[in-house]
Amino acid sequence: MQETLDQIGIGGMTCASCVARVERALQSLPGVQEASVNLATESARVIWSAPPSDHEARLRRAVRDAGYEPLSAEHLTQTHTNIWVDFLPVAVGLMLSLPLVFPMLAGLFEFHWMLPPLWQFVLATPVQFILGARFYKAAWHAVKAGSGNMDLLVALGTTAGWLLSVGLWWSAPMDAMPHLYFEGSAVVITLVMLGKWLEARAKRQTTEAIRGLHALRPATARIVAADGEQTIPIEELLVDDLVVILPGERIAADGRVKQGSSQVDESMLTGEPLPVSKAPGSILTGGSINTDGRLVMQVTAVGTDTVLSHIIGLVENAQAAKAPIQRLVDQVSAVFVPVVLVLALLTFVVWWFISGDVALSLIHCVAVLVIACPCALGLATPVAIMAGTGVAAQSGVLIKDAQALEIAHKVDTVAFDKTGTLTVGRPQLKLCVSLTTESSEHWLAIAASVQSASQHPLAVAVLQAASSQAIVHIEPESAHAVAGLGTQAVVHGQTYVLGSVRWIESLLNEANIKPQSHAISSVFIQAQTLQNEGATVSVLAQCVNSQVQLCALLAFSDEPKPEAKNALQALRDRGLRLVMISGDNQGAALAMAARLGLRPDEVRAEVMPADKAACIRDLQRVEHGQDSAHIVAFVGDGINDAPALAAADVSMAMANPDGGGTDVAMQAAGITLMRGDVRLVAAALDISQRTVSKIHQNLFWAFVYNVAGIPLAAMGYLSPVVAAAAMALSSLSVMSNALLLKRWQARNH
Neighbours of 166 (CB within 10 A): 17
- Quote the Cα angle for 104-110-116, to 5°: 45
Neighbours of 124 (CB within 10 A): 28
Burial of 502 (0-12, 13-18, 19+ CB in 10 A): middle
Residues ≥6 apart with Cβ < 8 Å to 654: 420, 421, 635, 636, 637, 638, 665, 672, 673, 676, 680
Residues ≥6 apart with Cβ < 8 Å to 437: none
CB 182 within 8 A of CB 720: no
DSSP letter (8 states) at residue 622 = P
What's at 145, amino acid-wise?
A: A
Nearest Cα residue to 582 out of 630, 631, 644 = 644
DSSP letter (8 states) at residue 396 = T
Question: Which of helix, strand or coil describes residue 548?
Answer: strand
Is 417 marked active-site?
A: yes
Partnered with residue 279 across adjacent β-strands are: none
Question: Which of helix, strand or coil describes residue 709?
Answer: helix
Question: Which of helix, strand or coil describes residue 624?
Answer: coil
Round to whole Å and give the CA distance between 104 and 733: 27
**Of the residues 151, 417, 641, 677, which is catalytic?**
417
Round to whole Å and give the CA distance between 622 and 642: 24
Residues ≥6 apart with Cβ < 8 Å to 729: 195
Strand order of the β-sheet with 478-482 is 428-434, 547-557, 536-544, 494-500, 486-491, 478-482
CB 115 within 8 A of CB 106: no
> 650-654 and 632-636: which strand pairing?
parallel
Question: Which of helix, strand or coil describes residue 610?
Answer: helix
Give me the phi and psi of 221, to 5 degrees please. Answer: -140, 150
Q: Using only C-alpha atoms, what is the Rg of the chain? A: 34
CB 541 within 8 A of CB 496: yes
- HEC states along 196-217? HHHHHHHHHHHCHHHHHHHCCC
Neighbours of 235 (CB within 10 A): 10
Partnered with residue 254 across adjacent β-strands are: 301
CB 486 within 8 A of CB 500: yes
Nearest Cα residue to 70 out of 131, 15, 122, 6 = 6
Round to whole Å and give the CA distance between 499 and 157: 78
DSSP letter (8 states) at residue 623 = P
CB 207 within 8 A of CB 77: yes
Round to whole Å and give the CA distance between 644 and 635: 9
Round to whole Å and give the CA distance between 272 and 86: 38
CB 450 within 8 A of CB 491: yes
Positions marked active-site: 417
